[in-house]
Amino acid sequence: MTLLHGVGTTTRRSSDLSKHSADVFAEAEKHPVRVTRRDGETLVLMSQREVDARALLLQFAADLITVTLDDEGTLASRMARKFEWMLALSDADQASCARDLVDAARASFSTGQAHLAVAELTSWRETATAIAAGLTASPVEWLEFQMPVERP
């Protein structure tokens, strides 16, 4: 099984890398590039951003496995024990967060697109951080009367 079955992955020969390195590097900034070699194993060239996203996805997978091994409480409460930032969310938001994170992880694992789970995880964590900082939605105060504006 490979983590490179995502859309856009291309294959280039090692001679392309030596003859047209700028083109291959530009491609690798967009998506992973397989570099085949006659005398050795195929290599993969990708951006550090892609490597970091994949590492974060694997760590997230390990965390989800840890959560599933715990049998006390709801999914949301088990996840809040592992991802303590979730404690800043309301009970209803913790449940939504847990479902959204599992769904995003499943989508990432099945498509090979790490950014799906990473974006969802980051979004929820930043929301919890904002709530913990006191940045909550407050109702808009509308003016009860209309102020006439003079035209110039």
Tell me the CATH number at 34: 3.40.1620.10
Position 146 scores a pLDDT of 75
The letter for the amino acid at 134 is G
Give the pTM: 0.71
Domain identity same for 42 and 53: no
Domain count, the chain: 2
CA pair distance 26, 6, nearest whole angstrom: 18
Nearest 5°: the CA angle 35, 114, 48 is: 50
pLDDT surpassing 60 at residue 128: yes
Per-residue pLDDT, averaged over 48-72, amounts to 90
Task: Write out pLDDT tens, residues 131-142.
Answer: 999 887 777 777
DSSP 64: H
How many angstroms separate the Cα of 59 from the Cα of each of 37, 64, 73, 117, 121? 31, 9, 23, 11, 12
Domain identity same for 53 and 125: yes
Contact 74, 95 (CB under 8 A): yes
Domain identity same for 63 and 114: yes
Q: What is the mean pLDDT of the chain?
A: 88
Dihedrals φ, ψ of 90, to 5°?
A: -65, 165
How confident is residue 1, by pLDDT bands cut at 50, 70 and 90?
A: very low
Task: Write out pLDDT tens, residues 21-35.
Answer: 999 999 999 999 999
- Whether 137 is in a domain gets the answer no
Q: What's the domain range around 126?
A: 49-132
Domain identity same for 22 and 54: no
- Whether 18 is in a domain gets the answer yes
pLDDT surpassing 60 at residue 5: no
pLDDT surpassing 80 at residue 15: yes
To 10 degrees, what angle do helices 114-132 and 91-111 make?
A: 160
Q: Which helix (H) or strand (E) holds 107?
A: helix 91-111
Per-residue pLDDT, averaged over 56-68, amounts to 91
Among 68-77, 94-103, 122-131, the least confident range: 68-77
Domain identity same for 41 and 113: no
CA pair distance 31, 3, nearest whole angstrom: 12
